Structure 1
Amino acid sequence: RMVLRIMLAQTLALETPPHATIATALPLLQGGPRKLAHGVFGSLMRAGVALPAPELPPATANRWTALWGEAMAEAASAALGSPPPLDLSLADASATAATAAQLGGTSLAPGHVRLPRAGAIEQIDGFESGDWWVQDLAASLPARLLGKGNGRSVLDLCAAPGGKTMQLAAAGWQVTALDNSEKRLKRLRQNLKRTGLDAATITDNLLEWRPDDQADAVLLDAPCSATGIFRRHPDVLYRIGARHIEDRAQQQLLLLERASNWVKPGGVLVYAVCSLERAEGEDVIARFLADDSRYTIDPVVTDELPSGIAPDALGQVRTLPGMLADAGGLDGFFMARLRHQA
C-alpha cells in the first residue's frame, strides 16, 4: 500500500512518467508483491485516475472566508494543489535582467528572479558564487520598505535564516541580526559567507536582550502562526487554531513594544508576520498605535511594491492567496512601516 501511494504521488503530484515511476518504485518491493503493485498501478493509470481537488480544512476555510471573503478561501484551496515557484533575491539588483535571462526566469521586482519549481538548489548557476539566495517574493517586501541604507544602522530581529539580513546588507545597511536559535544563525552566517555580505550576528532572547544604542531602523519579523506559508507547510492548516493565534498575537505585541524603544527619533520600525490572520497583523498594529503616541504609520505607496500588490487604505501591506496567481502566486504576509516621531 505504501509503495502504491509513493507511485501515485510520483505520477499524479510530481508528474513523473509512469515508466519512470515503475522503475524507481518496484525495487522497493524486492522479494514482495511486485507483480501485484505493478498490476494495480497499471489498472489505475488506464482508468485515468486523478487527485481530488485540494480543500482547506473546514475550520480554516470558515475563518479565512470571514476575514477575507469567499474568493480568497477559494484561491487558497487552489494554491494547495500547485507547488510554489522558486523565488531568488539577488545580491546585486542591477543584475536582475541578466540573471533572469541566464536562468530562464522572470522578474517581478528589481533584485528578484522567479524560476519554475527546480531541483537541487545548489546546482543552479550562481549559488556557489553567492549571487542570490532563496526567498519568496512576499518575504522580501518588508526589507524593501526600508530602502537604501547608506551606511545607517538597522536591527534585524528574529532574523534567521537570514533572507532579510542579506537584503539589508546588500542595500547598504550596517546590520545587526538577532535570533535566539544558534543553529539557525549558523545557517545565516554560512549564507553571509557565501554571498560575501556582512552583518553582525547575536544569539539571544529578544525578551531579555537590549542593544547598547538605538538604531536608525528596526525590522521585526515576529514569530507567528505561519499560516501564510501554508503552500510550503500545509500542516499549519491543521495545527493552528484560534487559541494559538491569540497567544501569538499577545507575544507579537509584547515584542513590538520592546523593539519600539530601540529606534532613534525620526527612525523607522517595520513590523512583519508571515500570517494570514488579521489578529497577528492589522490588529497588533492598531493595538500598538492606540497605546504609543510616539509612532504613526508611514504609509507604503504603490510604487514601492511589485505590480499586482497594493497597500491598504492605511498604507499597510497585506498579501493574500490569489494575488499574482497568473505568475505563480506568493506567500501570505502582513507588514506595516511605522515612523518614530522626532
Structure 2
Amino acid sequence: MPAPANPRPATPNRRPADPPGMPARRAAMRLLDAVLRRGDPLEAALPAATRDLAEANDRGLAHAIAAEALRRLPDLDALIDSATRQRLPDDAKARTALRIALVQTLALGTPPHAAIATVLPLVDGGPRKLVHGVFGSLTRGGATLPDVPTLPPTVAERWRMAWGEAAVAAAAAAIAAPPPLDLTLADSDALAPDGLALAPDQRRLVDAGPVTQLPGYAEGNWWVQDVAASLPARLLGRGPGEAIDLCAAPGGKTMQLAAAGWNVTALEVSPARAARLHENLARTGLPAKVVIADALHWAPPAPVDALLIDAPCSATGIFRRHPDVLYRAHAAIVADMAALQAQLLARAAEWVRPGGRLVYATCSLERAEGEDQLARFLADRPDYRVDPPTAGDLPAGFAAQDGGYLRTLPGTLAAQGGCDGFFVVRLVRASA
C-alpha cells in the first residue's frame, strides 16, 4: 500500500487537552502549594498560579477555591484522615486534590461528579484510585463541614493565651465566610452606595458585587478600607499641618489624612506598592507627596506635626479576608516583624516636633506587635506619653483599653459583621 502523499508529522508526547474546568483547579492547587509549602501570601502567589488562565472568571474561581480551602483546612484534613488507613503527608498531591474536591462539594456547592472529575487529572501518575475512593466514601457517607470552622491548633492556642476562649470562638465564627465590604468616604456628603453607616464617613456593604461598578467609584468619592483600618488616621484628627504616613501603600490612611486637611508625605519602600498608591490618589483626586524610600535610611527635611506608622506586621488581624496568614504567620515571623517595628519606631520618633503626635498601628492580633511594643517604646522614650482617644475620636462600638490604646479583637462589632484585628495607640511628644 503506497504511503500518503503528505503524511502528518508525528506529535509524540502531546498532552491531551484539559477537561473543562480543570485549569482553574490546577491553579488552585498551585495556590495552596505556594501558601502551605513555600509560605507565600495568597494574593502575591495569584499571578503566577493563574498564569495559564485567560478568563477572569477562572482566576476568580481558583482564588475562591484556595481561599475557602484555607478557611476550612483543619476540618477538611480531619475528614480526609477519617477515610484513610495511613495518614497522607501534609504536602502530598493526593491530600491537596482531596481538599480541593471536598471544599467545592461541601462548601461551594459544586456537584460531586464535577468536583472529582476536574481534580482527578491533577494526580496523573499518582494515587488516583485512592483520591477517587476517599472522595466517594466521604460524599456517599454524607460528610459535612461544621458551620463554625476549626482554627489551626497553634493559632488557636496562641490567641487563647493572649485573649481568652471567647476571642478564639469569635475568630472561628468570623472566618466562616468572607467579611462585608467597608468603604471610607472622602466627604460624608458625597455620592456613595447605600449601606450600614458605621460612622458618617463609613459605609458597610454586604454582597456588594464588583467594586468598580458601585456608585461613586469612578468619581473617586470613596475607597475600600475596613473600619478598624480607619482608626489610626482618625486619631490624628484634622489638619492643617505637616503629616507623614509611613509604609503608606495602598493609601487608605494617606487619603484619610489628605481628606482631613493635612499636607501629607506618603512614604513607601516598594515601587510596585507606591504605584498602587499613585493610582488611588489619582482616582480620588486627593493630594499627597509620594516618596519611595526606606524609612530606616530616610528622614524628613524638618520635624512634622503628625506621624502615622502603619507598621509592617504579621497581619494576623486580617485573617477574615486573608486566611493564608493563619498558616504563614508563625512565631518566627512575629518575632522578625516586632524587631523591625521597634527599629521603625525608634527612628521615626525623632521626626515628630515637640508637642506633635505619633500614631502607631498594626493589623495584628499578637501582643508582641502591639502592647509589648508600646511598653518597650515608652520605657525607652520618656519624652512620649499615651494620649487616650476621646469619645468624639472614634465610631460607635470602639473604646480605649485601660492603657489608653485601642485593641480590636475577633468579636468587636460582631453584631454589625465584625472588623479586622488592630492595635492602635496615639502618643504625644513632650514640648521642649
Trace 1:15-164 onto structure 2 (pairs within 5 A): 50-52=144-146, 53-95=148-190, 99=192, 103-149=193-239, 151-164=240-253
CA distance in 2, matches of 1:172, 1:337: 19
- CA drift of 1:320 comes to 0.2
Q: What is the alpha-carbon distance in structure 2 between the residues aligned to residue 126 and residue 48 of structure 1? A: 46
**Aligned counterpart, 1:35:** none
Q: Distance in 2 between the 1:147 and 1:221 partners?
A: 16
Q: Distance in 1 between matches of 2:143 and 2:419?
A: 29
8 Å contact kept, 2:179–2:321: yes
Corresponding residue of 1:36: none
Change (3 A) 1:93 1:221: same
Q: Deviations over 1:271-309 (max 9, x none)?
A: 000000111101111111111111000111243222222
**Structure 1: which 5+ residue stretches go unaligned?**
32-39
Describe the SS at the equivalent of 2:267: strand
Structure 2: segments with no counterpart, 5+ residues? 1-21, 26-96, 122-133
Identity, % of aligned pairs? 57
When the two structures are aligned, how many residues end up with a matched partner?
A: 328
Report which stretch shifted further, 159-168 or 43-52. Answer: 43-52
Aligned pair partner of 2:407 in 298, 314, 318 = 318
Note closer, same or farther for the CA distance 1:91–1:281 as it changes in structure 2 (3 Å cut).
Answer: same
Aligned mates of 2:194, 2:141 — CA distance in 1: 36
1:181-235 deviations in Å (ceiling 9; x for gaps): 0111111111111011010000011110111111110000010111101111112
SS for the counterpart of 1:107 is strand
Q: Does 1:307 align with 2:400?
A: no
- Are the structure 2 counterparts of residues 182 and 322 from structure 1 closer, same or farther at C-alpha, using a change threshold of 3 Å? same
1:274-313 equivalences under 5 Å are 274-313=363-402
Query: Per-residue deviation at 1:25?
Result: 7.4
1:117 CA displacement? 3.4
How far apart, in 2, do the equivalents of 1:175 and 1:12 lie? 48
Matched, 1:239 2:328: yes
Report 1 or 2 for greater relative contact order, CA contacts < 8 Å, sequence distance ≥ 6.
1
Q: For residues 248 and 41 of structure 1, what CA distance do their matches in structure 2 show?
A: 40
For normalisation by structure 1, the TM-score amounts to: 0.87
Between the aligned partners of 1:48 and 1:28, the Cα distance in structure 2 is 21
User: For residue 288 of structure 1, what is the amino acid of its counterpart?
Assistant: F
One-letter amino acid of the counterpart of residue 167, structure 2: M
Distance 1:7 1:86 in 2: 28
Question: Which letter does structure 1 place at the counterpart of 2:287?
Answer: D
Q: Give me the CA root mean square deviation.
A: 2.9
Rg larger in 1 or in 2?
Answer: 2
Q: Distance in 1 between matches of 2:154 and 2:99?
A: 27
- Asked if the contact 2:251/2:277 (under 8 Å) is kept, the reply is yes
TM score, norm. by length of structure 2:
0.69
- Of 179, 183, 197, which residue of structure 1 is paired with 2:272? 183
SS of the equivalent of 2:196 reads coil
In structure 2, relative to structure 1, the CA distance for the partners of 1:4 and 1:281 (3 Å cut) is closer
Provide the C-alpha distance between the structure 2 equivalents of 1:121 and 1:219, rounded to a whole number of angstroms: 27
Quote the Cα distance in structure 2 between the aligned partners of 1:294 and 1:27.
Answer: 65
Give the distance between the partners of 1:304 and 1:12, measured in 2 at CA: 44
| Deviation for aligned residue 1:104 | 3.3
Structure 1 residues 90-132: Cα deviation after superposition (integer angstroms, max 9, x where no partner): 111234xx63xxx331111121000003332111121111111
Asked if 2 retains the 8 angstrom alpha-carbon contact of 1:249 and 1:279, the reply is yes
Paired with 2:326 and 2:163, the residues of 1 have a C-alpha distance of 16
CA gap of 1:288–1:7, structure 2 versus 1, over 3 A, is: same
**2:104 and 2:115 in contact (8 A); partners too:** no
In structure 1, how many angstroms separate the alpha carbons of the residues matched to 2:137 and 2:336?
50
Task: Return the alpha-carbon distance in structure 2 between the equivalents of residues 228 and 301 of structure 1.
Answer: 24
CA contact (8 A) 2:314 2:329 kept: yes
Does the alignment pair 1:256 with 2:345?
A: yes
Higher mean alpha-carbon deviation, 42-51 vs 160-169, is at 42-51
